[in-house]
């Protein structure tokens, strides 16, 4: 049996280095999975989107996944292991790129994400998905974007969507939801003047009637502290919203996403919990 420390060491490399991700992508399931890559949800080099769908899917739930990268990096091609993992379980998974700093600053990447949601709803059916069973999911910076899209209705409204009805649920993995004040010079550049910072915090947009949420973190995460998850979950509960908060023991920032890959599923039941939530939210 592979020992847990060895799994954790491999998991820590996921989404952080090219070679381990290439290994996980190569090991991702292919049987029963239909991949359509290189599509575009808007004009521009950073507006591509890949779709992973179950073969012969009909009216399947749809997940739009926003990856992390500190709002300054990332590539949708790194996440085949995630898309194929969800597709092999009967979920249509769409993974878009979006513009990042220094090309753009907040809120431009939010506007890109909203356009990707609108595209996902328009194009769910051709890929075997049901536009009315759409769940938004994000990791790290992508989790901040996913929750902010769900809580601040202006972005989806500007993309032509009804803010209250576009999403059936939200999954946030290791997300920064309550991270003021900004001390990093890079973060200050990304989020602009201090007067605009509160608008970037999902906790500041909580209101009754938000979509159901699953917020997960690892107790060993030193990149995005678990208090972010606790803070948003408490605010959502106080407003009467449906939220599930999970903390995985012995899991860090990258392992929580790596646990979707077959070689790393022993790290934590992240995939199992996410699939259960998607099933409940889209039933």
CATH number of the domain at 78, please.
3.40.50.1820
DSSP 201: -
Quick check: 7 pLDDT over 60?
A: no
The answer to whether 226 and 218 have CB atoms below 8 angstroms apart is: yes
Rounded mean pLDDT, 153-170 = 92
C-beta of residue 132 within 8 angstroms of C-beta of residue 168:
yes
Alpha-helical (H) ranges within the chain are 4-11, 18-27, 80-87, 108-123, 141-151, 154-158, 185-191, 227-238, 255-258, 270-281
Q: Using CA atoms, how far apart are residues 270 and 166, in angstroms rounded to an integer?
A: 25
Provide the phi-psi class of 65: left if phi over 0, else alpha when psi is between -120 and 50, else beta: beta
pLDDT band at 19 (very low <50, low <70, confident <90, very high): low
Q: Which pLDDT score is estimated for 121? A: 97
Q: Considering only 4-18, 64-78, 171-185, which range has the smallest mean pLDDT?
A: 4-18
Which DSSP category does 68 fall into? -
Q: How many domains, in total, are found in the chain? A: 1
Contacts of 191 (CB under 8 A, 6+ apart): 105, 106, 182, 197, 200
Give yes or no for a contact between 233 and 245, defined as CB atoms under 8 angstroms apart.
yes
Question: What's the domain range around 249?
Answer: 4-281
Residue 18 has a pLDDT of 46
For 211-230, how does the pLDDT look when each residue is reduced to its tens digit (9 = 90+)? 999 999 999 999 999 999 99
Say whether pLDDT at 13 is over 70: no
What is the chain's length? 283
Listed in sequence order, the residues at least 6 apart from 26 whose beta carbon sits closer than 8 Å to its beta carbon are none
pTM for the model stands at: 0.93
**Do residues 154 and 78 lie in contact, with contact meaning Cβ atoms separated by under 8 Å?**
no
Q: CA 212, CA 206: separation in Å to the nearest integer?
A: 12
Q: Which of 10-24, 26-40, 158-172, 204-218 has the lowest mean pLDDT?
A: 10-24
Nearby residues of 183 by Cβ (< 8 Å), 6 or more positions away = none
**How does the average pLDDT of the chain come out, rounded?**
93
**17: which 2 tokens?**
């280095």
Q: How many CB atoms lie within 10 A of CB 209?
A: 8
**Rounded distance, CA 256 to CA 269, Å?**
9
**d(C-alpha 150, C-alpha 172), whole Å:** 11
> With 80 as the cut, is the pLDDT of residue 155 above it?
yes
pLDDT tens for 34-53 read: 999 999 999 999 999 999 99
């Amino acid at each position: 049996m592979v020992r847990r420390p060895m799994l954790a060491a491999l998991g820590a490399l996921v989404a952080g280095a090219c070679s381990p991700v290439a290994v996980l992508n190569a090991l991702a399931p292919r049987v029963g999975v239909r991949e359509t890559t290189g599509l575009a949800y808007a004009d521009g080099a950073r507006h591509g989107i890949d779709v992973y769908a179950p073969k012969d899917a009909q009216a399947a739930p749809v997940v739009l996944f926003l990856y992390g990268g500190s709002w300054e990096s990332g590539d949708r091609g790194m996440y085949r292991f995630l898309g194929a993992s969800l597709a092999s379980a009967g979920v249509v998974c769409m993974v878009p790129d979006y513009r990042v700093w220094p090309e753009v600053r907040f809120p431009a990447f939010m506007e890109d994400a909203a356009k990707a949601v609108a595209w996902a709803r328009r194009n769910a059916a051709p890929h075997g998905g049901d536009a009315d069973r759409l769940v938004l999911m994000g990791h790290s910076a992508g989790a901040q974007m996913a929750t902010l899209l769900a809580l601040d209705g202006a972005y989806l409204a500007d993309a032509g969507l009804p803010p209250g009805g576009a999403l059936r649920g939200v999954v946030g993995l290791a997300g920064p939801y309550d991270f003021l004040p900004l001390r990093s010079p890079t973060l200050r550049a990304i989020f602009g003047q201090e007067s605009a910072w509160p608008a970037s915090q999902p906790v500041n947009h909580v209101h009754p009637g938000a979509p159901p949420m699953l917020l997960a973190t690892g107790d060993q995460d030193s990149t995005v502290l678990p208090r972010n998850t606790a803070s948003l979950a408490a605010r959502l509960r106080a407003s009467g919203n449906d939220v599930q908060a999970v903390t995985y023991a012995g899991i860090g920032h990258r392992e929580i996403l790596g646990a979707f890959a077959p070689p790393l599923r022993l790290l934590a039941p992240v995939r199992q919990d996410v699939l259960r939530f998607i099933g409940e939210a889209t039933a």
